[in-house]
Chain A
Amino acid sequence: MSATASLHAQMHVEFPYTRSLGPVLSTFMTGLASGQIVGGVLSDGRVACPPPEFDPTTLEPVTEFRDLGSSGEVVTWSWVSEPVPGQPLDRPFAWALVKLDGADTPLLHAVAADSPDAMSTGMRVRVQWAAERTGAITDIAHFVSLVEPVETTGGGFETLAGALSSTNEDITGITTPVVLDYEYVASPEESAFGRGLKEGRILAQACPTCHKVYVPPRGACPVDGVPTSEPHELPDTGIVTTFCIVNVPYLGQKITPPYVSAYVLLDGADIAFLHLVLGTEASDVRMGMRVKAVWKPEAERTYSLENISHFEPTGEPDADFETYKNHL
């Protein structure tokens, strides 16, 4: 990699959304858990599946429901030649709008098929239930052509055991995992900063207009809207401007509370950044306290600010409030 190329990193973001359900979706999901697909009756008498919470014409709540068949007709379809993670099938398959028997509007779901040649508009398909049903749209694993033999190994609702094992309790909420992968690219300024950190140096930059020294440097000075282009190397010493004592444990926490999360203003910088102050009792940390970076061993260093393990007090006299009051 050249000395000026952008730094790239893979970034994985994952979080579960917990969603409560209103009466309509609760009815739909409870039905799925017991192996029954339910539709909602619209103001014009049509039966819609999935049932919308509100009628699209009158905007009144949907309150009447109908049990639907587990077979239906493909209204339209498209072929997925390159499936993406999270989709119902990990091999090429079809998406289809399926009008279930007893419904007037179609449901979007996957149809397992060997090739686009096995798909056609108007073809009959039936539900393949998931091995375990929890009250979610994914309880329908996918659809298959009606001519395929019924798979019973999954404990689907075709088997008595499957029907008996299903819960009778109402489903009132769902958890939907969101998993996303990104390639993060650092700006030219961040890239230079990251390279410096790998060498144990803090390469800040100043705005060419207001001459404020930014660490990390930025693609644009927020005051002037121009890139911070003037190189400005900073020492790894500074002061605590403001801080908080973390007492609350949370998932993924790396340090045992209580510990101090502080804004550190490096000597010569105009902008403080957030880091840890360790190596002393949390109760001893105070505004104006002089600190110095504790670097990780060279072999462990990456391009991250985590190359600085934490800051520790130097024991020097505290800075006078007047010297940093404009940096709070």
Chain B
Amino acid sequence: MRDVAVVGFAQRQMREFDGSPNCVELLVPILTELWEQTGWSKSDIGFWCSGSSDYLAGRSFSFVTAIDALGAVPPISESHVEMDAAWALYEVWLKIQTGEADTGLVYGFGKSSASPLRRTLALQLDPYTVTPLWPDTVSIAGLQARLGLDQGAWSEGDLAEVAARSRTSASDNEYAVRKGETSVDDVLAQPMFSDPLRRWDCAPVTDGAAAMIIAATDSPLYEQVKERSATITGFAHNADASSLGLRDLLRSPSTAAAGKAAGVDGSTTYDVAELHAPFSHQELILRRELGLGTGTTINPSGGALAANPMFSAGLIRIGEAARRIWSGEARTALAHATSGPALQQNLVCTLEGAH
């Protein structure tokens, strides 16, 4: 395995972006920020990959029009995934492993507010027996939450604790759209939105974009940026069955499998974990599957309950983890990304400081 490090990261998150659905106006300043962070230019990037969805943009080939933001002349080597950009990062990491590239830039964008998000996301479900009913994402998460409440896997108070901590931690996050000092009682005083879930148990609809640069540590370019880097020590992803009825919704075998493949075996206590849990009970599932105990600070950024831009929120988890290693706040970190209904697809990336 080639050691690869995160050396650049920039993000924008907001409640409603008053601009075009391919978010080019967000991507241009984000990329400028990355060039400033690294001192590199587009010719230093060996491979590019993005994550986005035409269903959010409401137009075909939106990822192709977004390439305008890169200034792709002369031609670049580029790819795209219809998943969170964390999976695009995986593709870039893999490309670097093959030796075909030494550096890579990954970006994700999504204008979640352009259509009713919880409805549009029904298009990711089984098109034969599920999508024609248009089940919304919040209701599907509600089925999972109630199962856990009924079976004693978690309590209403447990969910409120996650929501309160996420909002409170997000206070310092300039990009969080839902934040502020919040107690468990404050959460429990909120009315039900999709019983058993309150609005604060559900990630807010968020527009945004994020981008990241990674580099092989054995490449000459890395020497220029190594002062600020976080090395990827493990990286894997996995998926559960697509049929909700065939899954044990209280568990996330794909998270456990991805964690295991990424080397999460209990031997390391991570200083920080950034978990992509769009619903409060899902954080509890993820913590259990990844064996995260009290020694790990969970979601110092506030996590997805504070801001959840579709197709970049997973990458942002990895970026937030890397940022804390750059600052010295953490030496080891675990980042997780999810995609699909009720935590169907999961990705785990572990990071470590150079020293």
Contact = CB atoms under 8 A, between A and B. Distances in A.
Interface of A: 6, 11, 13, 17, 19, 21, 25, 28, 48-50, 52, 56, 75-81, 84-88, 95-97, 105-110, 116, 121, 136-138, 174, 176, 178, 180-188, 190, 218-227
A108 B244 CA distance: 8
Nearest to A96: B143
Contacts of A49: 245
Contacts of A110: 133
Given A105-B246, A108-B245, A222-B73, A97 B132 contact: no
Contact of B145 (A17, A78, A109): A78
Contact of A84 (B24, B67, B134, B144): B134
Interface in B168-220: 192-197
Nearest to B118: A84
B195 A116 contact: yes
B131 A176 contact: yes
- The 7 tightest CB contacts between A and B, nearest first, are A78-B142, A225-B71, A219-B24, A182-B58, A79-B195, A86-B134, A84-B119
Interface in B113-163: 113-116, 118-120, 122-123, 127-136, 138-147, 150
* Most central of B118, B197, B243 by chain A CB within 10 Å: B243
Contacts of B22: 219
Contacts of B134: 84-87
Contact of A6 (B18, B24, B118, B243): B18
B31 to A, nearest CB: 7
13 contacts: A48-B246, A52-B241, A76-B147, A76-B150, A81-B193, A84-B136, A86-B122, A95-B135, A95-B143, A108-B244, A186-B20, A219-B19, A223-B71
Nearest to A106: B245
B69 A185 contact: no
B333 to A, nearest CB: 31
A167 B145 CA distance: 40
Given A19-B128, A78-B141, 4 more contacts: A49-B245, A87-B133, A185-B17, A225-B28
A322 B136 CA distance: 57
Contacts of B241: 52, 56
Contact of A108 (B27, B67, B135, B194): B135
B55 interface: yes
B70 interface: yes
* Interface SS of chain B: helix
A78 B139 contact: yes
Nearest to A218: B68
A278 B142 CA distance: 57
Contact of A109 (B133, B146, B147): B133
Nearest to B197: A78
B58 A180 contact: yes
A25 B133 contact: no
Contacts of B70: 225
Interface residues of B, number: 63
Nearest to B146: A76
Interface of B: 17-22, 24-25, 27-28, 31, 42, 55, 58, 67-73, 113-116, 118-120, 122-123, 127-136, 138-147, 150, 192-197, 241, 243-246, 249
A79 B142 CA distance: 8
Contacts of A190: 20
B196 A180 contact: no
B28 A78 contact: no
Given A13-B58, A187-B24, A137 B114 contact: no
Given A79-B195, A218-B68, A25 B129 contact: yes
A138 B194 contact: no
Contacts of A176: 127-128, 131-132
B245 A48 contact: yes
A107 B143 CA distance: 12
B18 A78 contact: no
Contact of B67 (A13, A76, A222): A222
A226 B32 CA distance: 10
B110 to A, nearest CB: 13
* Most central of B67, B70, B128, B138 by chain A CB within 10 Å: B128
B238 to A, nearest CB: 14
Contacts of A185: 17-21, 114
A83 B147 CA distance: 21
Contact of A137 (B68, B115, B129, B195): B129
A220 B133 CA distance: 39
B119 A85 contact: yes
A174 to B, nearest CB: 7
Nearest to A140: B133
Contact of A188 (B25, B116, B192): B25
A88 B133 contact: yes
A77 B146 contact: yes
B132 A138 contact: yes
Contact of A78 (B73, B119, B195): B195
A190 B158 CA distance: 48
Contacts of A137: 128-130, 132-133
B126 to A, nearest CB: 8
A24 to B, nearest CB: 10
* Most central of A76, A88, A188 by chain B CB within 10 Å: A76
B67 A95 contact: no
B120 A180 contact: yes
Contacts of A109: 133
